[in-house]
Homo-oligomer: A and B are copies of this chain.
């Protein structure tokens, strides 16, 4: 997103290195501080929702929240100040998330009625992605994402079959069991079908008539059979992806690929895989 930095003064450059960078010791310390602040802030929001805790530590929660909001506000302004392209940053995904992390508190101060909006503070958890993006787990996440992307059409076909099946099963159960046994409408019956086919099985709605139980058994066995399909799809793509990942190493001598990650010598010609002679 961000092209070449333009007209940065010394302070901006230093701040940019600390806040956006991750190679300098100061940048690493800032990243660590940010992760701690995000996790503490999100934990405070979560614990605040427990009414016993809120009653006992109400004032403490408000103070903590104000401190975090001030900290994140200063950080946001600093990012805007030191970024070579402030507008680009403000419009980027992370820029919007950074703003969403502080806005709810200010809005709740202005309009006390909008308490629900305070939940948006939980979006701060997304900020953690920025820090993690910089580290080594990104290549692992890429293998997973690529497998899912390669399998996306198959997953769509699979999801379409699920929608078809749950609609038909839901309507059938609505006709068989009826409102008297909890299946009060087709949408609710479809909800039951999803609860059953994914093997969650709350038991808040369950068939009572013998015919309904027989159909439910069919739904379950179908779900059981269906669970194999996406597992197989993603698994098969992953096997391929992993194989490709392994094959990135190439012998300098015979140019054949497919070496294990712990191999030191080419398995085809015996040349070293490390020296480029």
Interface residues of A (CB under 8 A from B): 42, 45-47, 49-51, 116, 119, 122, 125-126, 132, 136-137, 140-141, 143-144, 147-148, 153-160, 162, 164, 167-168, 171, 174-175, 179, 184-188, 190-191, 194-196, 198-204, 206, 210, 213-214, 216-217, 220-221, 223-225, 227-244, 246, 258-260, 262-272
A91 to B207, CA, bound (A): 36
With A49-B174, A137-B156 as known contacts, state yes or no: A265 contacts B259, CB within 8 Å: no
Give the distance to chain B from A127, nearest Cβ to Cβ, in Å: 11
For this complex, 16 residue pairs linking A to B, each with C-beta atoms less than 8 Å apart, are A42-B167, A45-B186, A51-B185, A132-B160, A144-B157, A155-B225, A188-B210, A190-B217, A194-B217, A194-B221, A200-B201, A201-B201, A227-B231, A228-B234, A228-B235, A265-B268
Residue of B nearest to A202 (CB): B203
Known: A49-B174, A195-B217, A262-B267. 18 other contacts (CB 8 A): A45-B186, A49-B186, A49-B187, A51-B184, A132-B160, A137-B157, A159-B221, A201-B201, A201-B202, A203-B203, A224-B227, A227-B231, A228-B230, A231-B232, A232-B236, A235-B236, A236-B241, A264-B267
Are B231 and A162 within 8 A (Cβ)?
Answer: no
Q: Which residues of B sit under 8 angstroms from A262, Cβ to Cβ?
A: 267
